[in-house]
Structure 1
Amino acid sequence: MSLLPVSILTGFLGSGKTTLLRHLLGQPELSDTAVIVNEFGEVGLDHMLVADSEEKIVELNSGCLCCTVRWDLVTTLDELYAKREAGSIPAFSRVVIETTGLADPAPVLHTLMNDPKLAARFRLDSVITVVDGVNGLATLDRHEEAVKQAAVADRLVITKGDLPEAEVDTLESRLGQLNPGAARLRAIMGEVPADALFGAGFYALEERGEDVRRWLREEAYQDAAGHDHAEHAHAHDGSQAHAHDVNRHDDHIRAFSIVREEPVSGARFSLFLELLVANRGPDILRVKGIVNIAEKPDKPAVIHGVQHLFHPVAWMDSWPDADRSTRLVFITRDVSRDWVEKLLDALTGEREETDPVLQAGDRRE
C-alpha cells in the first residue's frame, strides 16, 4: 500500500500562509488534497467553503477537503482516512497541515513519526515555512518560534517577493545561514508553483538518485559549518549574507553535516542515537540521513528524527549513487558539531580515547 504524503505548512503570524494555501489549492495538481487547519489559525478559508462551516469536514470550491483540528491530530487524520476508505468523502491523495503562527512544528512531526497507525498510512513529505518578506528579519530577531519554524523547513517561501531586491536578498541570506539545506523561493501574492513545494523526497524511498542528494544536500551544510563565524559570509547564490549578530536568536541554531566513509555497526549506531537523544534530545531539532550499516552494506538505512523521536529505520533497495558513505544532516540548538562528531566516533570505533565531555552533553560551542 502506498503511503499518503503529508506536508506541514507553517510560518509566523501574518507571514502569508493562508494566502499561499489559497493559491496552491487553486492549482490542478492539488485538486485531490485534504487540508487540516488549526482552529486557532489567524485567517480562515471560509470564503472557499461550500458546506456548513460547523461541519468537521467540508469541501472547498477547488474540490479539496478542509477540516479543523478540534481534538487532536491523530483523531483528525484517522477520521479522514476512514472516511476516504469508506468512500464517504473524495479519495484525496495528499494532506496539508496548516499550523498556527505561534506553533512549534516539532509536535506535529512527532505525531506523524510516532503514532503506529498513522505511520502505516501516511508519510511525511515536506515542511514548508512561510517567511514575511517585510517583517521577517525583525521576527527572527524577536521570536524563537519563528527561528525554529525556519530551521526545520525543507522549503522556505519568502512572501511579498515584489519588494526591492536588496531587502529580500538580506532576508534570504539570513535564512540561508540558518538553514542552508532548505530550498528558498519567493512568492508574489502567494503565487508559487505547487511542484516546487511538494515532493521534498525524504522518506520517499521509491525515489532515489538525485532525490536523495536533494534531501540531504550535505554540501550546503558543510559549507555553512565552515563559515559559522564569518563576519560577512556569502550566500550560495553569491549575495552578501546578513552580518553576524550575537544577540540574534538563531545564533544558537547550528546546521551541519557529518560524513563517514567506513561502514558502521548497526548496534553501535543505534547506541549513538540513543545517547544523542538521552543527552540532548530537546535540542536536536532535526536529523536526517542515509547510513552504511556494516551488516547490510548493499542497502542503505534511512533515518529521520525530530528532537527525542525517530521514525523507524527504513531500508532502501540499493544505494542511490556510487557514493556509499554515511551522510548525516543535523539542525541543532546549542549543540556543537564537534560534540556530535566525538560522540559518533567514540561509539562507532573511529575514536579510541574517552572524553568526559561526551558524558556531560557539552553545551560549549
Structure 2
Amino acid sequence: MVRLVPRLALNVVTGFLGSGKTTLLKRYLQTQPLGSTLVIINEFGRESIDDRITLHLKSEIETIADGCLCCTVLSELQRTLLHILARRERGELPGLQRIIVETSGLADPAPILGTVLSDENLAEYIQVGPCVTTFDALEGLHTLERYPEAVAQVAAADRVIVTKSDLSDSVALEALSAAIRKVNPACDVTLNDVPAIIFEALARRSGDRRVHPERQPAHAHTGAISSFSLALDRSVDWASFSVWLTALLNRHGDRILRFKSVLDVHGQGKLVVQGVRHRVYPPSHLPAADDDDSVSRLVFITHGIDDEKIMRSLERITGSAPSPAPQAGRRLPAGQ
C-alpha cells in the first residue's frame, strides 16, 4: 500500500500532578511553526484550565475532560484522533506534523500508547514517538513512594525530564536519578526541559514499540482522590484571595495534590495561579484578548479532604459565593 500522506508523529507527555507538563509544552510550542502541532489535553476533572493557559500560543487544542485517558475516557481518545485524521484528509490541517497528548496527572500512559498502536486505522497514519514523563525535583520522591500513578508514568517513559532541578542540589538530583532508574533503568534522564530535543527519536525504543496487552497490569488509581471545580461570577480581590489560599495550604497542603486557577483580578486582568501541595508557583498574566469575561475558575485535585470545606472557606474569606460546575466532582474509589 502506498501512503499518500506522511504519518503524523504522536508523543505522549505525562507526569504526576504539578510536575510541569503544561509549562514544558508551552516552551516547546513557542519554538514550533504555526499549525505544525496539535495538542490533546486530558483533564481529570470536568473543568479544563490548561487549554485556557495554552490557547494564546495559537496552537490547535483538543480537550478531553472529566476522566483519565487511561481508564474512563480512553475511547474518546480514539474518536478524537480519528477526527483529527479526517480533518487532515479534508485539508483543514495542512501544516500538521505532530500530535501531542498531554495526559492528566493521574493517568497511566501504557493503555494510551497501546490504544494507538493496536488500532489499525490509527497505526496506518500515526507514528508513535518517545513518551516523555516530567518528574518534579522537589516532590518526585514523595510521589514515587506514595502514588502508584507516578511509578507507572516513570515506567512508561522513553525520556524523563526532571523539572525544577535548579531548585535542588547535586546530591538530591543524584538520588532522584537513582530512584528514576530503579523504576526504569533504560530511560533517558534529562535535567530541566530542552524543547529542541524533547521529542527527538531515541535509538533504543522510538519507532519500534511493541504492545503486549497481556503483560500490562490492571491500572488502579489511589483511593479517595477527588477533583472539583469552582466558579466565581465576579472579579476577585487579590489581597483577600491570597490570604485565603495561604491559610488553606497551611492547613491542608498535604492533601491538596494540585490546584489551578484562572482568576479575574481587580485591576490586573486574568491571572493564572497554580501550585502543588504547600507550594504556589509565581502567578502569570494571560493576554487580555484571550478571555474577556469576569468569571474566575478554580480546579482542585485533593486526597481525602472535604470539598465543601474549601468552598465554604472561600466564601467566608472573599465574600464571593463559589458555584460548582455541574457534576464537577470526580472521585475514584480504591481499585478503580
TM range (shorter): 0.5 to 0.7
* Aligned residue in 2 for 1:8: 12
Matched, 1:67 2:72: no
Aligned-residue sequence identity (percent) comes to 35
SS at match of 2:137: coil
CA contact (8 A) 2:35 2:93 kept: no
State the shift of 1:3 in Å.
1.8
SS at match of 2:165: coil
CA contact (8 A) 1:18 1:43 kept: no
Match of 1:113 among 114, 117, 124: 117
Match of 1:215 among 194, 198, 205: 205
Q: Which amino acid aligns with 1:64?
A: S
After the TM superposition, which residues 325-340 of structure 1 pair with which residues of structure 2 at under 5 Å, given as runs?
none
* Aligned residue in 1 for 2:50: 44
* Aligned residue in 2 for 1:91: 95
Paired positions, count: 202
SS at match of 2:129: strand
Aligned partners of 2:147 and 2:62: how far apart in 1? 28
TM-score by length of 1: 0.51
The alignment yields a C-alpha RMSD, in angstroms, of 2.6
Relative to structure 2, which stretch is displaced further, 174-183 or 97-106? Answer: 174-183
Aligned partners of 2:151 and 2:50: how far apart in 1? 24
CA deviation digits over 1:280-333, x for unaligned, max 9?
xxxxxxxx9xxxxxxxxxxxxx66124338xxxxxxxxxxxxxxxxxxxxx999
Aligned partners of 2:113 and 2:102: how far apart in 1? 13
Q: Displaced runs of 4+ in structure 1, greater than 6 A? A: none
Q: What runs of 5+ residues in structure 2 fail to find an aligned partner?
A: 66-72, 219-336
* Aligned residue in 2 for 1:134: 138
Higher relative contact order (CA 8 A, sep 6+): 2
Quickly say closer, same or farther: Cα 1:196–1:24, change in 2 above 3 A. Answer: same
Aligned partners of 1:30 and 1:181: how far apart in 2? 34
Match of 2:211 among 285, 292, 305: 305
After the TM superposition, which residues 1-365 of structure 1 pair with which residues of structure 2 at under 5 Å, given as runs?
1=3, 2-28=6-32, 32-40=36-44, 43-49=49-55, 61-69=56-64, 72-162=76-166, 163-187=168-192, 192-201=193-202, 211=203, 214-215=204-205, 304-308=210-214
Q: Which amino acid aligns with 1:26?
A: Q
SS at match of 1:305: coil
CA contact (8 A) 2:132 2:198 kept: yes
CA contact (8 A) 1:106 1:306 kept: no
Q: Which amino acid aligns with 2:205?
A: W
Q: What runs of 5+ residues in structure 1 fail to find an aligned partner?
A: 50-60, 202-210, 217-287, 289-301, 310-330, 334-365
* Aligned residue in 2 for 1:291: none
Aligned partners of 1:173 and 1:303: how far apart in 2? 25
SS at match of 2:211: strand
State the shift of 1:89 in Å.
3.4
CA contact (8 A) 2:24 2:195 kept: no
Quickly say closer, same or farther: Cα 1:29–1:169, change in 2 above 3 A. Answer: farther
